[in-house]
Amino acid sequence: MFLSMNNVHKSFTNNDKTELVLSDIQLDVKEGEFVSILGPSGCGKSTLLSIVAGLAHATEGSIELEGKTIKGPCKERGMVFQQAALFPWLTVEENVMFPLLPDMSKKEAQQKAHQYLQMVQLGAYTKHSPHEISGGMQQRVAIARALAMDPALLLMDEPFGALDEQTRSRLHEIVEKIFLETKKTILFVTHSIAESLKLSDRIVVMGTQPGTILEVIELNFPRPRSQSKEELLYYEEKIQALLKSEIDKVTEKEQNHAASR
Amino acid sequence: MQPAVKRVIFYVLLFGIWQVAVYLFDVSPALLPAPTDIFVSLYEGFSNLTLVYDLVASFRRLFIGLAIALVLGLLLGVLLAKSKTADETLGSLILALQSVPSIVWLPLAIMWFGLNEMAVIFIVVLGATIVMTINVRTGIINVPPLFIKAAKTMNYRGFRLFSKVTIPASIPYAVTGMRLAWAFAWRALMAGELLSTGPGLGYSLRFASDFGDMSRVIAIMLLIMLIGIIVDLLFFQRIEKKVLRKWGLAT
Ligand SMILES: Nc1ncnc2c1ncn2[C@@H]1O[C@H](COP(=O)(O)OP(=O)(O)OP(=O)(O)O)[C@@H](O)[C@H]1O
Ligand SMILES: [Mg+2]
């Protein structure tokens, strides 16, 4: 298997209290697959993605990419965060060159940066500063920066969470185009059902407290998904029902907690 | 009305009333000279070059002191931010020293270095180093964790991570540190010169005072004030504004 998570557990210890955040995560991802992770806030989606990125470590279990156990961050796994995380002291182009410079000449890096900036339709903004472009554009630069490393796996943590609806749907098109062109494997965290239905081959629905995988939904529909609106409606309702019961669970817990105080 | 216009009117009124009051109440120039006397003294000082020599001498000391302080502050700030032990020990001393105006070190400095420039430069270095250190330390500690995480996924770690991400990310604080260091250095320099030897603006101020030349005293005070404001406004605040804007820290 390309990427496999083997009963991953993660707990945090704060003030002598240990909280189990991820419990027994078991997931396999095939090469070239677009997998979304969907779940209520606080269920551990970002935590799981950080473990895959190598920025955090599993308390138990392991994750393997192409047969090698993940131990730390590495260029084979590119990450796009919810905030663009561009370096303000560098121009757009220099930001995209940033991961490349240690390994290649400035000229090569610049060429490559331009190539990926064109892919996200920002070829005209290479010399701008991050603060001079919009949030949606910044996020596209972040995507170009991650792609420029040519990672085997692209991790995206709610990359469009902070953007408005129109910008979002434009970026969906760009991401889909990149996915089809580059054939990258993508792990995509979101809390938007519509977003996951539009983009993914499979949707992993997570429950919370502790974070577990509730269900994995296969979507065998042709792209673009706008052709299969009716069929997708069924899945939308199914996921909504799954998430609602999770959110109800959390609300009930909180009320009990409040009542017991 | 434009703030600049308001300001001009304010200062014209201020000097006007001052001038009229000195004239009307026949105030002795040994107590408070009229603005015109001050401007004449200022003009004389510049035309016979005495004030120019003073300025050059003062600025020479200031630049030497400030340069040493900025380098020292940068190194100490990095040390405090990176070493917990250093922060808990040396850091507490530096915070404690911050509450002491650096001029109180002058008697000791004169014993150590003699009644000369070195003692004054020491005072300047001391005052400016502390603010620079504190700001650099704060800057490094406040580097957004997201920047570090993002850089790590791009294979940056160790010294390369520090030099390519941590240092540039903390530049806004370092710039504020430089601005404050300048302000501290300027005040410390004037105090040091006033109490030790010349040439320099501070020394000439005391010299004029010993001879009862209050026009010259106030002329030099005005000059100290003007330089302080001009350097801060035209140089440091401009850089600071630019950097803050670029780093996305100001609207
Ligand atoms: N460093 C940490 N120390 C302690 N607890 C943490 C830490 N990081 C995350 N948590 C806890 O782990 C849980 C999951 O956090 P996580 O950020 O992974 O959620 P999420 O699913 O990404 O939520 P959201 O959709 O709001 O981004 C939360 O309850 C959070 O409080
Ligand atoms: Mg999250």
pLDDT above 90: residue A9:
no
> Given pLDDT bands bounded at 50, 70 and 90, which one contains residue A208?
confident
Name which of A216, A163, A174 is nearest A198 in CA terms: A174
Q: Searching chain A, which residue's CA lies closest to the CA of residue B243?
A: A89
Measured on CA atoms in the order A120, A121, A126, A129, is the torsion positive or negative? negative
pLDDT tens digits for range A218-251: 888 787 877 777 777 877 888 787 778 777 777 7
Cα(B44)–Cα(B30) distance, integer angstroms: 18
At B163, the amino acid letter reads S
Nearest-CA distance A7 → chain B (Å) = 24
Ligand 2 centroid to residue B133 C-alpha, Å: 36
Query: Which pair of structure tokens corresponds to residue B4?
Result: 């600049």
Question: How many domains are there within chain A?
Answer: 1
Task: Match 């935590």 to its residue by tokens.
Answer: A47
Question: From CA B229, how far away is CA B234, in angstroms rounded?
Answer: 8
Phi first, then psi: give them for residue A239, nearest 5 degrees: -65, -40
Q: What is the pLDDT of residue B227?
A: 92
Residue A130 lies in a domain: no
What would the pLDDT profile of B119-152 be if each residue is shown by its tens digit? Answer: 999 999 998 999 999 999 999 999 999 999 999 9
Tell me which residues have their CB closer than 6 angstroms to ligand 1.
A 12, 14, 21, 39, 41-47, 191
CATH 3.30.70.260 at B36-246, yes or no:
no
∠A137-A142-A147 over CA atoms, to 5°?
125
**CA dist., res. A209 & res. A249, Å (int):** 9
Q: What is the pLDDT of residue A13?
A: 87
Q: Which residues of A touch B248 (CB under 8 A)?
A: 88, 130-131
Ligand 1, atom nearest to A191 Cα: 25
Q: What is the CATH number of the domain that holds A227?
A: 3.40.50.300
Helix (H) or strand (E) holding A57: none
What domain range is A187 assigned to? 3-76+151-260
Q: How far apart are CA B102 and CA B191, in angstroms?
A: 9
Whose CA is closest to atom 6 on ligand 1? A12
CA–CA dist A67, B79 (Å, integer): 41
Which sequence spans correspond to the domains of chain B?
Answer: 36-246
SS3 A20: strand
pTM score of the predicted model: 0.84
pLDDT at B251: 63
More confident residue, B20 or A1: B20
How far is it, in rounded angstroms, from Cα A59 to Cα B40?
Answer: 79
| Orientation of helix B117-141 relative to helix B171-195, angle to 10° | 160
Q: What is the ipTM of this complex?
A: 0.87
Considering the domain boundaries, does residue A251 fall inside one?
yes
Q: Can you tell me the distance from the alpha carbon of A213 to that of B192, in angstroms, rounded to the nearest whole number?
A: 70
Q: Which residues pair with A14 in a beta bridge?
A: A17
Q: In angstroms, what separates the C-alpha of B170 from chain A's closest C-alpha?
A: 10
Task: Determine contact: A51 vs chain B, CB below 8 A.
Answer: no
